[in-house]
């Protein structure tokens, strides 16, 4: 087993990995940039190392610095978290060359699944249904138009080196295709250093259903059931659940089998997630595979009782999976919501600042995975995720009500967060009934969002805020005992006629 693991990440996922290391008796080494000097992961790790300036390229995304540090401190393994180097085959290969174990899949699996066109080709050879479309990059506009007409509009133009919902454009006609083709290639080149694009049929109102898979280096494959991740904004997930209230036993059997076939097709070991789109008839289509641990892994942990990070470490060390497929059962229902530093009433503009007050909820069935607390600085250099609030209960309705209870207790002062926005989603009848798809937040809900605050409750809260401010002012004016003079009124009048 490893003696020391370097965690090449930050925020809540770094905290998550440090916790698993602590419980396994493995030394944890953290890295931090200027912006993260006082954050939680630096305090919880056994060793903390300054890695560079705030921009990720100077710090968390600086391969040379990270690997140099790993060697210096004699880390025998590196956990990449998610994002940053987690799906970078080159990083994995460099670690291997330096005899440091990467806690994740092989560079081969990562490369295979990293190209979305290669992955689609592979899936079509292994009995895994894919979204109708091309498995090669589109060579020119004419080919693209011909293929689009075969598939039928609307279609999606996607970056082959993209993923995570980035680098996609919906096209509804030939004219639109012609004008979008070059622009999409340019954007892909800029974002992913690769301008290959391909076409997929645009599936109307699909759900995003993904399956957690786990393999080991001894050739064992398991699935840990599915997750429902349809509540998204601009393709960024906001709420995830396990299991999906839409998936029945028969569909579950089919989709988890497809996911295992996917893992086998690329010789996968360690934790991974196979993402699918599911239409209203429960037909599902392979979207992509994420060859890493995902943000939303806690909901799977809560319904299965497993610790996925400890399992990742054990598998990376060469151990067999600690469980068999037949051991696994779905227990209850878990929901996670992502607490973001952003302003839902101002087009979700990211909010930055210092956390001046912090109180996280707890009690039965409530779990908070946070990377920040009092005194932490939320900056523009990284994504605005503050924490994940995860609730478990015996059924979906109770989990939702528990989530509302937990959200009402959560206090984060000093920035604007999406906590109120989340409360609105969990109170929404369609969400509660499980009637939604990936367009839930873009139509029905967003249209009414400004109207959501017009309630009696807001009047009450305004009254409390007003009373509080008045008391504060009265306390400060006791110290400034200058009586109001007639002169001060004249000053106002003078300013008027400037």
Q: Which of residues 199-238 bind another protein (CB under 8 A)?
A: 234
Q: Is 423 in the site for another protein (CB under 8 A)?
A: yes
Tell me the number of residues near another protein by CB under 8 A. Answer: 50
Query: Which segments of 321-377 does DSSP mark as H helices, in order?
Result: none
Q: How far is CA 24 from the centre of its chain?
A: 26
Residue 172 sits in the site that holds another protein (CB under 8 A): no
Compute the least distance from the CB of residue 318 to another protein, in Å: 36
Looking at beta carbons only, is 250 or 478 nearer to another protein? 478
CA-CA distances (angstroms) from residue 386 to 21, 105, 372, 375? 22, 27, 6, 13
Does residue 1 touch another protein according to CB under 8 A?
Answer: no
* 335 within 8 A of 403, measured Cβ to Cβ: yes
Using the minimum distance from each CB to another protein, give the nearer residue, 306 or 391. Answer: 391
| Nearest by Cα to 306 from 282, 279, 287, 329 | 329
Under the binding rule (CB under 8 A), the answer on residue 452 touching another protein is: no
Query: At its nearest, how many Å lie between another protein and the CB of residue 470?
Result: 4
Long-range contacts, 15-18 (Cβ 8 Å, 24+): 15/40, 15/41, 15/44, 15/369, 15/370, 15/371, 16/81, 16/309, 16/369, 17/79, 17/81, 17/309, 18/44, 18/45
Residues in the chain: 498
What are the φ and ψ backbone dihedral angles of 140, each rounded to 5 degrees? -150, 170
Instruction: By CB under 8 A, tell whether 479 contacts another protein.
Output: no
Segment 365 to 404, residues that bind another protein, using CB under 8 A:
380-384
Report if residue 495 touches another protein, rule: CB under 8 A.
yes
Q: Give the one residue of 407, 425, 438, 452 binding another protein; rule: CB under 8 A.
A: 407
Catalytic-residue membership of 292: yes
User: Residue 456 interacts with another protein (CB under 8 A)?
Assistant: no
Rounded to whole angstroms, the Cα distance separating 364 from 427 reads 20
Q: Identify whether the C-beta of residue 67 lies closer than 8 Å to the C-beta of residue 73.
A: no
Tell me how far, at minimum, the Cβ of 95 lies from another protein, in Å.
25
How many whole angstroms separate alpha carbon 285 and alpha carbon 291?
A: 18
Q: Among 85, 313, 414, 437, which residue interacts with another protein (rule: CB under 8 A)?
A: 414
Q: Give the residue ranges of DSSP H helices in 25-104.
A: 40-44, 63-72, 89-97
* Contact residue for another protein among 193, 250, 481, 496 (CB under 8 A): 496
In the bound state with another protein, the residue whose beta carbon lies nearer, of 409 and 433, is 409
Which listed range, 100-108, 221-229, 283-291, 411-419, lies at the site for another protein (CB under 8 A)?
411-419
Tell me whether residue 357 or residue 395 sits nearer to another protein (CB atom).
357
DSSP 184-252: HHHHHHHHHS---EEEEEPPSS-EEEEEEEEE-TTS-EEEEEEEEEEEEETTEEEEEEES-TT--HHHH
Q: Is the Cβ of residue 96 or residue 383 nearer to another protein in the bound state?
A: 383
Binding-site member from 53, 352, 389, 479 for another protein (CB under 8 A): 352
Residues serving a catalytic function are: 292
Q: Tell me which residues touch another protein (CB under 8 A).
A: 234, 347, 349-350, 352, 356-357, 359, 380-384, 407-408, 410-411, 413-414, 416, 419-420, 423, 458-459, 461-477, 484, 488-489, 492-493, 495-497
């Amino acid at each position: 087993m490893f003696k020391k693991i370097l965690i090449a990440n930050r925020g809540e996922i770094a905290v998550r990995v440090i916790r698993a290391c602590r419980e396994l008796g493995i030394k944890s080494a953290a890295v931090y940039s200027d912006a993260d000097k006082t954050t939680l992961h630096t305090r919880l790790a056994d060793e903390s190392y300054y890695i560079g300036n705030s921009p990720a390229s100077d710090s968390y995304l600086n391969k040379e610095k990270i690997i140099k540090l790993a060697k210096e401190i004699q880390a025998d393994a590196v956990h990449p978290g998610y994002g940053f180097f987690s799906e970078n085959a080159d990083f994995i290969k460099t670690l291997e060359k330096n005899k440091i174990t990467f806690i994740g899949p092989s560079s081969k699996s990562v490369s295979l699944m990293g190209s979305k066109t290669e992955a689609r080709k592979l899936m079509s050879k292994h009995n895994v249904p894919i979204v109708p479309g091309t498995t090669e990059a589109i060579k020119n506009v004419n080919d693209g138009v011909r293929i689009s007409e075969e598939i039928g509009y609307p279609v999606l133009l996607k970056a082959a080196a993209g993923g995570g919902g980035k680098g996609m454009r919906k096209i509804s006609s030939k004219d639109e295709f012609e004008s979008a083709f070059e622009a999409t290639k340019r954007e892909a080149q800029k974002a992913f250093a690769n301008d290959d694009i391909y076409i997929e049929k645009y599936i109307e109102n699909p759900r995003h259903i993904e399956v957690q898979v786990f393999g080991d280096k001894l050739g064992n494959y398991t699935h840990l059931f599915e997750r429902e991740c349809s509540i998204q904004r601009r393709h960024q997930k906001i709420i995830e659940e396990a299991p999906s209230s839409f998936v029945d036993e028969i569909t579950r059997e089919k989709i988890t089998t497809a996911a295992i076939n996917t893992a086998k097709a690329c010789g996968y070991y360690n934790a991974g997630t196979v993402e699918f789109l599911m239409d209203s008839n429960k037909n599902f289509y392979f979207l992509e595979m994420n060859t890493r641990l995902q943000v939303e892994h806690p909901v799977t942990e809560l319904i299965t009782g497993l610790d996925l990070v400890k399992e990742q470490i054990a598998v990376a060390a060469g151990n067999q999976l600690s469980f068999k497929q037949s051991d696994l059962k779905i227990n209850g229902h878990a929901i996670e919501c992502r607490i973001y530093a952003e302003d839902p009433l101002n087009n979700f503009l990211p909010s930055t600042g210092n956390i001046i007050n912090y109180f996280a909820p707890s009690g039965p069935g409530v779990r908070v995975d946070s990377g920040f607390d009092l005194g932490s600085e939320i900056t523009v250099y990284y994504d605005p995720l503050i924490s994940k609030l995860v609730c478990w209960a015996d059924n979906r309705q109770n989990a939702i009500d528990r989530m509302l209870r937990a959200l009402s207790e959560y206090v984060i002062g000093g920035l604007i967060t999406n906590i109120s926005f989340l409360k609105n989603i969990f109170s929404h009848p369609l969400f509660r009934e499980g009637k939604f798809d990936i367009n839930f937040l873009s139509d029905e809900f967003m249209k009414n969002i400004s109207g959501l605050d017009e309630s009696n409750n807001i009047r009450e809260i305004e009254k409390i805020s007003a009373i509080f401010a008045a008391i504060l002012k009265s306390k400060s004016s006791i110290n400034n005992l200058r009586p109001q003079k007639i002169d001060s009124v004249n000053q106002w009048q003078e300013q008027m006629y400037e």
